[in-house]
Amino acid sequence: MQTKIVLYKKVADDVLALLQQEHQVVQFDGVDDNNRAAFMAELEDAVGLIGASVKIDAAVLDHAPRLKAISTISVGIDQFDPADLSRRGIVLLNTPDVLTETTADTGFALILASARRVVEMADYVRQGRWTNSIGEDCFGTDVQGKTLGIVGMGRIGGAIARRAALGFGMQVLYSNRSPNPAAEKAYAARFCPLGTLLQSSDFVCITVPLTPQTRGMIGAAELALMRPSAILVNISRGSIVDESALISALENGRLRGAGLDVFEHEPVAADSPLLKMANVVALPHIGSATHETRHGMALCAAQNLLDALSGKATPNAANRA
């Protein structure tokens, strides 16, 4: 007998077909105030849930008494409470690896764009302001040969370290819960406390996952440790940085600039002071957003869910259920 899966993100036809081979699939294109009640109602007899970018908290789960597995189309699991899911006997699955290189590319794009003022200079040309050979007022700062501090040396941190050390001849510092000997060997990365990293880096790139421990870990005190010539790049989650402290630091010239793919509240408010600053490159959370990678993530998440529901071992379980 087919069992029911609720899908709450639009996926490609082949991914949908894969799920439909084994289950009845009820599909939502996101969840908002208009369809929340219908979404909750469909959960009542669902055994599987798959999607992304929606908070799945106790209030949602209380409507899903038969749920056995949730598969998020993301590596980040901050929309869930893994311990609560374990108590309810629900396994949580995510999509590591498949998005590592693409997300590291986004991080490096932000490092380069911020340092070389790519967005600002492209606007300058587009606005017809390039009327003479450019002067110092259009210069940026070098990336190659500088020091990059990576906060969190996991898969994505490692992929950024590789680009930095092997591609750009950068010195790599990193902070992490524990040392990463592989990154030290391959990229001469140096393990150091967060404070030392912030004081010694020309670029600081945040790649730690959002957890209760990392929320707000870069606040006013940490930003004050950074060099005024340094650039902060965040490709993880906005809430790791105290956004108002970052705005003050930028307004007061305490940092050269910032490259931000993520914000405390997404989509970021159109009137955010960050969007008025020429030295801030802001992106709409494009970390993994290429056709190839988003398709790979959806396929991975679908296979994770099918495996979990059929009792097969799944390497991508993010909790114990």
Residue length, the chain?
321
What are the tokens at 222? 């940490």
Burial 276-288 (b: 16+ CB within 10 A, else e): ebeebbbbebbbb
Residue 44 or residue 292: which is nearer to ligand 8YV going by CB?
A: 292
Among 19, 47, 73, 204, binds ligand 8YV (CB under 6 A): 73
Site membership for ligand 8YV, residue 288 (CB under 6 A): yes
Residue 76 or residue 257: which is nearer to ligand 8YV going by CB?
A: 76
CB of 289 to ligand 8YV, least distance (A): 6
The active-site residue, picked from 23, 117, 163, 237, is 237
Candidates 74-82, 122-130, 216-224, 275-283 — which segment interacts with ligand 8YV by CB under 6 A? 74-82
Among 47, 64, 76, 255, binds ligand 8YV (CB under 6 A): 76
State which H helix or E strand residue 36 sits in.
helix 36-43
Among 61, 69, 75, 172, binds ligand 8YV (CB under 6 A): 75
CA 123 – CA 97 distance, rounded (Å): 35
Report CA Rg, the chain: 21
Candidates 41-49, 72-80, 155-163, 243-251 — which segment interacts with ligand 8YV by CB under 6 A? 72-80
- Interface with ligand 8YV in residues 129-158 (CB under 6 A): none
Q: Is 266 a catalytic residue?
A: yes
- Interface with ligand 8YV in residues 83-112 (CB under 6 A): 99
Q: Of 208, 265, 235, 211, which is closest to residue 80 (Cα–Cα)?
A: 211
Site membership for ligand 8YV, residue 285 (CB under 6 A): yes
Torsion sign over Cα 5, 11, 17, 18: negative
Site membership for ligand 8YV, residue 287 (CB under 6 A): yes
Dihedral angle computed from the Cα positions of residues 47, 52, 58 and 59, in that order, rounded to the nearest 10 degrees: -90
CA 36 – CA 34 distance, rounded (Å): 6
Candidates 68-76, 216-224, 246-254, 265-273 — which segment interacts with ligand 8YV by CB under 6 A? 68-76
Q: Of 186, 111, 200, 114, which is closest to residue 149 (Cα–Cα)?
A: 200
Chain residues in the site for ligand 8YV (CB under 6 A)? 52-53, 73-76, 99, 285, 287-288
Q: Which residues are catalytic?
A: 237, 266, 285
